[in-house]
Structure 1
Amino acid sequence: MRSSIDAVIEGKLKDFSIPGSAVGIVQNGRLVWAKGYGWADVTRKVPMTPKTIMNIGSISKTITATAVMQLWERGLIDLDADVSRYLTYQVVNPKHPSVAITTRRLLNHRSSIRDGKSYWESYACGDPTAALGDWLEAYLTSGGAYFDADDNFHGWAPGILERDQPGGYCNVAYGLLGRLVECVTGARFNDYCAHHIFTPLGMNSTGWYLGDVNLDRHAVLYGKITKEKLESGRQLLAAPGLTIDELTPGARMPHCLYSYPTYMEGLARTSVEELSLFLATYAYRGGNQLLKQSTINLMLSDVHDGRPLCWNRLILENGDVIWGHAGSDPGVKTYMGFREMDETGVIIYFNGDDIGDSKEIITESLFFNAATL
């Protein structure tokens, strides 16, 4: 089994010149197998391992959704109330001002909020400098510095997305969910997660800010350089010391450790080992759960405008149903998923963002071979 997985992963790293990967398999509520491949830092020859820390991209949304549903379980949030009820300002789609943007619609990507130009330009090296609440208000409210009715909102009404309309997946929406947690609890989102998710699970090396984690264990993130990126000169997010003269189209460039104001939608920084503790709370019904099983079942149902909350359904080649979430950011590709049938989960990290079909092939391999453990 292990040699089969080794062959698949090592082959993909070679095929696509991926710097490194770390993977893990969860069964019966614990990490039963994990391994690293390639390099966390190519220059310094630091191996990638299950203890390597990375920002995990949109897998982070499952943590944010968990925080929101914890508050729902406590009766502090109504999923179908206008989210503005909990904020200090009104959030509406200016094209459909009479249709409420609700917590449920934020969770299931049917809010009609859109990731506009200002969102993509908010990436910057280091930790966020803009306060979450201030940035969101400037983005979502008329007269704000980043407000653009056409760029920041879709034309369709919240909760309604026809097949011929642009997709609803939205990162800013999960930033707003993080702000919702802050407004309801009075705590900063990162502190809420530390007290109610990370510490209870023993995820002691996990955090949202660079200062929360051991940077000596953080992977270097490598992005493929394109001619378009070089010509625009924007959003290169190059590691300190690199000049544009040193960058060649097609090469892999080490990124700085970057962030954005809506960090709760993509910037959880953790290892395969520690993320397995979180995954087990969903995959294993007999262990430590952050949410009631009835709440998890609700999240995975299709009663929310025909969609689940946060988690996505994947069908393997053999027909098995997997619940999971992928992550993607500069120099980052990740996946986390679980199979309810046998309570098995898998985690996959890459510190490179041009990986071809590697994630899909390795996901299949890990779930197929998990049965032989």
Structure 2
Amino acid sequence: MPNIVHSAPGVSLNRRAFLTGAVATMATPALGAAAALDITADNGRLDAFLKEQLRNGAFPGMAVGIARAGKVVLTRGYGFANVAQRRPVTTDTMFHLASVTKTVTATAIMMLVEAGRIELDAPVNRYLDFEVLNPAHPHAAITARHLLMHVSGISDETYYKVDFRTVGKDSSLPLWTFLKDYLLPDGRHYSVTGSFSPAAPGANYDYCNVGYALLGYLVERVADEDLRIFTQARMFDPLGMRQVSWTIAGVPKALMATPYDIVDDRIVPTEPVGFPDFPVGMLRASIAGFMPFVAAAANRGAAGPAQILTATDQAEMLTMHVPQGLPDWVTGQGLGWMESSALGKRRINHWGGDPGVFTAVYLDPTSTTGVAIFTNGSATPASKTAIKAIAERLLTGPSA
């Protein structure tokens, strides 16, 4: 997402003072502790390690979770959901997930593929009520697979120049209006070079938020219902996911993690922001609420009694490819999910970031292990290092 900073008035701490306060962390009891013993036999050392990474990453607050074999085996909270109020993070604290949302939107697409209602390699214009064409390649079809893999030829160039966000509340601009304004020649934000790249669909990698907004709208057109209703009924309810919201308004104030940006080396609270392309990054969730989805993604599409995707379709999402133009920070791109190197190992993952937000989900389908890390602080070099260290520890356990 674009790095647009909306700093709010209120508490401002320098980093030194913040780190002193953050030592008073809260670790909630593990869920399913008996099942987690194989992962966290070094329970005290794990707790100390996570507190250390909270300090190293300068996170105001953090929540972590582990799932294995389709079960959530551990969730914990550390630090503060709100520093001024000294309100601690718990496993019910709801964080803004930012681009981790894309994994949910991609899964919704795959559910419709599995149902035979979308063909991955068919032109998306077959399903839409308006025509999306790259003016440089008007006869080349854009497909759902192209959109999922960020090779559609749709460009975020204009997206990063225009502030589409609403500070402090949800956007009132409908998704379809946002898309038509951006992708149609008579749209107010359309640009031949700003809305599309010179590359033909499928030819070149270009991470694209607008493409994922279009995927969300594609779900709505095919399912004939709002993406938020579709995911609640077909994904969140079957998995038993609670404390998950597509809107800011849907998050109780007592559970909201206040986002904190870093301005002039100071931790500054910022207001949440709403934006019309909600399938791209508007999800809010607690670690306890989101982990059943992570469990299913790591476990062949199944968590508990719910099977949201077949093992075959979940495996296809996690099959990595190397399209032309893939940046060096990514080692592979799947359908929604990515792969990158962490501590010398290739890991399937997706990160999310916005001012005051840094989240990550990692999957190891071989061991059916999934890990999520939610924080309410902006990404920095130090916090990225901490996230990678946490993910590796939770996926593999302590080093020998």
Please give the range of the TM-score, normalised by the shorter of the 2 chains: 0.7 to 0.9
Give TM-score scaled by structure 1 length.
0.86
- The structure 1 residue matched to 2:369, chosen from 312, 325, 344, is 344
Instruction: Name which of structure 1's ranges 341-350 and 117-126 shifts more when overlaid on structure 2.
Output: 117-126
- The structure 2 residue matched to 1:298, chosen from 298, 305, 316, is 316
> 1:360 maps to what in 2?
388
- The structure 2 residue matched to 1:178, chosen from 200, 212, 216, is 216
Contact conserved, 1:25 with 1:34, CA < 8 A, in 2? yes
Matches of 1:49 and 1:204, distance apart in 2: 14
> 1:98 maps to what in 2?
139
Q: Say if 1:137 and 1:13 are closer, same or farther in 2 by CA, change over 3 A.
A: same
Output the amino acid matched with 1:292.
T
Matches of 1:191 and 1:278, distance apart in 2: 16
| Cα offset, 1:13, TM superposition | 2.9
Structure 2 gaps, min length 5: 1-41, 324-331
Contact conserved, 2:141 with 2:201, CA < 8 A, in 1? yes
Contact conserved, 1:58 with 1:266, CA < 8 A, in 2? yes
Matches of 1:15 and 1:324, distance apart in 2: 21
> 1:275 maps to what in 2?
290
Contact conserved, 1:205 with 1:214, CA < 8 A, in 2? no
SS in 2 for 1:212: coil
Matches of 2:364 and 2:159, distance apart in 1: 37
Output the amino acid matched with 1:300.
L
Q: Say if 1:25 and 1:159 are closer, same or farther in 2 by CA, change over 3 A.
A: same
Contact conserved, 1:194 with 1:207, CA < 8 A, in 2? no
- The structure 1 residue matched to 2:186, chosen from 123, 143, 146, is 143
> 1:121 maps to what in 2?
163
* 1:295-340: CA deviation from partner (whole Å, max 9, x where unpaired): 1122222469684211112455464x53221111121111111212
Contact conserved, 2:170 with 2:247, CA < 8 A, in 1? yes
> 2:273 maps to what in 1?
258
- The structure 2 residue matched to 1:311, chosen from 306, 321, 337, is 337
Q: Say if 1:41 and 1:156 are closer, same or farther in 2 by CA, change over 3 A.
A: same
> 2:11 maps to what in 1?
none
Matches of 2:189 and 2:344, distance apart in 1: 46
Contact conserved, 1:344 with 1:370, CA < 8 A, in 2? no
**Residue 219 (1) aligns with residue 266 (2):** no
Matches of 1:53 and 1:123, distance apart in 2: 20
> 1:65 maps to what in 2?
106
> 2:348 maps to what in 1?
323
Contact conserved, 1:224 with 1:354, CA < 8 A, in 2? no
Matches of 2:398 and 2:112, distance apart in 1: 34
- The structure 2 residue matched to 1:80, chosen from 99, 111, 121, is 121
Output the amino acid matched with 2:310.
K
Contact conserved, 2:159 with 2:210, CA < 8 A, in 1? no
| Cα offset, 1:213, TM superposition | 3.0
| Cα offset, 1:12, TM superposition | 3.2
> 1:109 maps to what in 2?
150
Matches of 1:315 and 1:330, distance apart in 2: 24
| Cα offset, 1:370, TM superposition | 7.5
Output the amino acid matched with 2:243.
S
> 2:7 maps to what in 1?
none
> 1:243 maps to what in 2?
none
> 2:176 maps to what in 1?
133
Matches of 1:117 and 1:303, distance apart in 2: 27
Matches of 1:338 and 1:133, distance apart in 2: 32
Matches of 2:132 and 2:379, distance apart in 1: 36
Identity over the aligned pairs, expressed in percent?
34
Matches of 1:303 and 1:16, distance apart in 2: 31
Give TM-score scaled by structure 2 length.
0.81
How many residue pairs match? The answer is 343
> 1:53 maps to what in 2?
94
| Cα offset, 1:37, TM superposition | 1.2
Instruction: Name which of structure 1's ranges 116-125 and 354-363 shifts more when overlaid on structure 2.
Output: 116-125
Output the amino acid matched with 1:124.
T
Matches of 1:114 and 1:86, distance apart in 2: 21
SS in 1 for 2:397: helix
Output the amino acid matched with 1:134.
T
Contact conserved, 2:92 with 2:243, CA < 8 A, in 1? no
**Residue 191 (1) aligns with residue 229 (2):** yes
Structure 1 gaps, min length 5: 162-166, 226-248
